[in-house]
Homo-oligomer: A and B are copies of this chain.
């Protein structure tokens, strides 16, 4: 019989602890361990930082590793738990979902102790780590096929007080975009589950495309700003610059703000993230791959918007998303 999920060290021990969160075995995979760092400086906020929820978003694991380097010298109060890689099976495969069971870890929370491997990871995190945190930063990105600005997002929360606290936490990163994202595919998300427990939970969406040294420096600065604002580390909040664009915008995007490809073909982006567009402005062009006689199809902005995400040039199917527009959030 398998043990219950557990930590290999005592979270309440003072100072730095390094060990593992043990995820029990099941029918599809034997027991394995997730590397965990914890730093307990007594009274203060209790923060959990996770990365590698999706396996092709390595910005989070790398920023988490950087934090582990300097937190021991910088943290002055509270407790920070860092789990750089939530889903090593997906990271190893450079895959959004877990190859073994095909599940998206960010759609199976709070998980199941007797479920498949992805559900067992969610169960271990939900039962062992989440009760020990009041605030969670889950570090995502938009992945390799999108251009996206450094952003921190939250989905709408019914509890107005928690919504306000969560938006303020997101804004504390001082990244170019703080985003309220309305979409309909939120069942089983890590943040939805944590919000239901009353926790302040934000998702970093650390850009898209390649994970470069310059980009990592921006993301790390964002997390440092949030830690300073929480009083966990000393220092000053720094402005974060990104491609000379206007910074610290608070935006909102709705399900209807995603632009889809009108047909199968090759998508050509014709605008850039954070561009301000007017109705009719060109967002991208869809080219037929089968013919150089067929006219290309222009994809245009339906209304005044800010370009939040733009797809990389690639073959797309009909109804595949190619851009996401947003507008300033008016509280």
Contact = CB atoms under 8 A, between A and B. Distances in A.
A147 B212 contact: yes
B290 A33 contact: yes
B292 A62 contact: no
Contacts of A315: 55, 58, 91-92, 94
A73 B62 CA distance: 49
Interface in A264-312: 266, 268-272, 287-293, 296, 310, 312
Contact of A269 (B56, B61, B212, B271): B212
Nearest to A275: B213
A160 B37 CA distance: 59
A270 B92 CA distance: 21
Contacts of A147: 210, 212
Contacts of A191: none
Nearest to A294: B35
Contact of A88 (B37, B68, B289, B296): B289
Contact of A314 (B20, B58, B268): B58
Given A266-B58, A289-B91, A315-B91, A272 B214 contact: yes
Contacts of A36: 292
Interface string A44-85: 000000000001101101100100100000000000001011
Given A62-B313, A208-B210, 20 more contacts: A18-B293, A35-B290, A36-B292, A58-B266, A58-B314, A62-B268, A65-B292, A68-B292, A84-B289, A85-B289, A91-B315, A144-B145, A144-B210, A145-B210, A147-B212, A210-B313, A213-B270, A213-B310, A214-B272, A216-B269
20 contacts: A18-B291, A33-B290, A35-B289, A36-B292, A59-B313, A65-B292, A84-B287, A84-B292, A85-B266, A91-B315, A144-B144, A144-B145, A144-B209, A209-B209, A212-B312, A213-B269, A213-B271, A213-B272, A213-B310, A214-B272
